[in-house]
Amino acid sequence: MNRPLHIVVLRGGPSAEREVSLRSGAAVARALASLGHRVTEFDPVPCSPLPHRPPAPVDVAFLALHGTYGEDGTVQSELEQLGVPYTGCDVEASRVAFDKVLTKQRLVARDVPTPRFLVASDPATPFPPNWRPPLVLKPVRQGSSVGLEFLEDAAQWPAALASCLRYDREALIEERILGREVTVGILEHTALPLVEVRPHAGAYDYRNKYTPGATEYLCPAPFDDPTTRRIQAAALAAFEAVEGRDYARVDVMVRPDGTPLVLEVNTLPGMTETSLLPKAAAAAGIGFAELCQSMVDLARRRTPRHPTSPASHVA
């Protein structure tokens, strides 16, 4: 390993995904400390924002944040103003990928296969003509399945739309693809082994994501080689469509005929040792601590190295 670094792990934050982020950050901090780094954990809640004249020199900020502020380009912009290198996608890619509509527009423009969609912002919006259930309703700017609604009957539309709009001013309405749910980890523009997600009951919603034992994960996912390559190619195309860098996780639905359809790009995926991106990395022979180190190394490459004078300060 290179010289020990001072790494600030940003975790927690003000979003609806705060608890998930705290777990991600704790796992990352343990892994980096095990490698000999000096690790400071920092929770950028509204009463404790990033300081403009902080006291401690920092080599890298590791972003273990999820949701608004952490994943939408805001903290990325603040860190750039402070001159602190940080892990993951830049300001613009973060902004685009966090917004499901902007992501969809990029996918459509690049001919990346994705379910058809429309957008609603008024709870009184009538059920869309020429559509039929099953549908999925998602807040445009949320993650971790927060506010997700599955609609099986048009009569459920008013309640489902109103519930979804509690979490954001806009709702994405998407045709629900009946098939197999897969996630594709991306590391340095390389697709990792596929992870197939199989909830024991219902859909892969917030409860099934974070309830131990509620979901079965198969990695590598049991697809034939041609189908695997198609899914990975679609995921990489989506990552490039939002101009991602370093790493991400792309969620994909696969029709029974093997056709992949990209749902979204997650620029700061969960980073507990049992999260999906670390599962995919493990299947590729990359341990959790090694994965965290790789993310730090990628961030460091973007910044001129000044071993006696770190880039800037935070925390």
Decide if 251 is catalytic. yes
Q: How many CB atoms lie within 10 A of CB 62?
A: 27
Note whether 211 and 108 are same-domain residues: yes
Decide if 130 is catalytic. no
- pLDDT digit string, tens, across residues 65-107: 998 899 999 999 999 998 999 999 999 999 999 999 999 999 9
| Residue 106 maps to a domain | yes
Note whether 215 and 105 are same-domain residues: yes
DSSP, residue by residue, 286-307: --HHHHHHHHHHHHHHTS---T
| Residue 278 maps to a domain | no
Which of 13, 17, 71, 174 is catalytic? The answer is 17
Residue 153 burial (C-beta neighbours within 10 Å; 0-12, 13-18, 19+)? exposed
* pLDDT reported for residue 307: 40
- pLDDT digit string, tens, across residues 29-62: 999 999 999 999 999 876 555 654 444 689 999 9
Note whether 207 and 232 are same-domain residues: yes
| Residue 277 maps to a domain | no
Decide if 264 is catalytic. yes
If one counts the domains in the chain, the total is: 3
Note whether 153 and 185 are same-domain residues: no
* pLDDT reported for residue 203: 65
CATH code of the domain containing 41: 3.40.50.20
Which of 210, 230, 300, 312 is catalytic? The answer is 210
Decide if 270 is catalytic. yes
Contact (Cβ atoms closer than 8 angstroms) between residue 260 and residue 113: yes
**Among residues of the chain, what percentage have pLDDT more than 90?**
76
| Residue 38 maps to a domain | yes
Note whether 80 and 48 are same-domain residues: yes
Note whether 105 and 194 are same-domain residues: yes
With H, G, I as helix, E, B as strand and everything else as coil, classify residue 133.
coil
Note whether 60 and 170 are same-domain residues: no
Which of 78, 90, 168, 264 is catalytic? The answer is 264
| Residue 104 maps to a domain | yes
CATH code of the domain containing 248: 3.30.470.20
| Residue 273 maps to a domain | no
pTM for the whole structure = 0.89
Note whether 159 and 31 are same-domain residues: no
- pLDDT digit string, tens, across residues 182-216: 999 999 999 999 999 987 766 665 665 666 677 89
Contact (Cβ atoms closer than 8 angstroms) between residue 277 and residue 23: no
Find residue 181's DSSP bridge partners: 197, 253
Decide if 266 is catalytic. yes
CATH code of the domain containing 141: 3.30.1490.20
| Residue 307 maps to a domain | yes
* pLDDT reported for residue 279: 96
Which of 71, 72, 246, 251 is catalytic? The answer is 251
Note whether 254 and 105 are same-domain residues: yes
- pLDDT digit string, tens, across residues 240-254: 999 999 999 999 999
The lowest-confidence range among 39-48, 49-58, 220-229, 289-298 is 49-58
Decide if 144 is catalytic. yes
Decide if 210 is catalytic. yes
The residue that leads in pLDDT, 91 or 147, is 91
d(CA 312, CA 107): 36
Note whether 128 and 164 are same-domain residues: yes
Which of 21, 144, 208, 275 is catalytic? The answer is 144
| Residue 275 maps to a domain | no
Which of 180, 246, 270, 275 is catalytic? The answer is 270
Note whether 215 and 307 are same-domain residues: no
What residue numbers bound the domain in which 70 lies?
6-88+289-313
Note whether 106 and 185 are same-domain residues: yes
Find residue 248's DSSP bridge partners: 186
Decide if 2 is catalytic. no
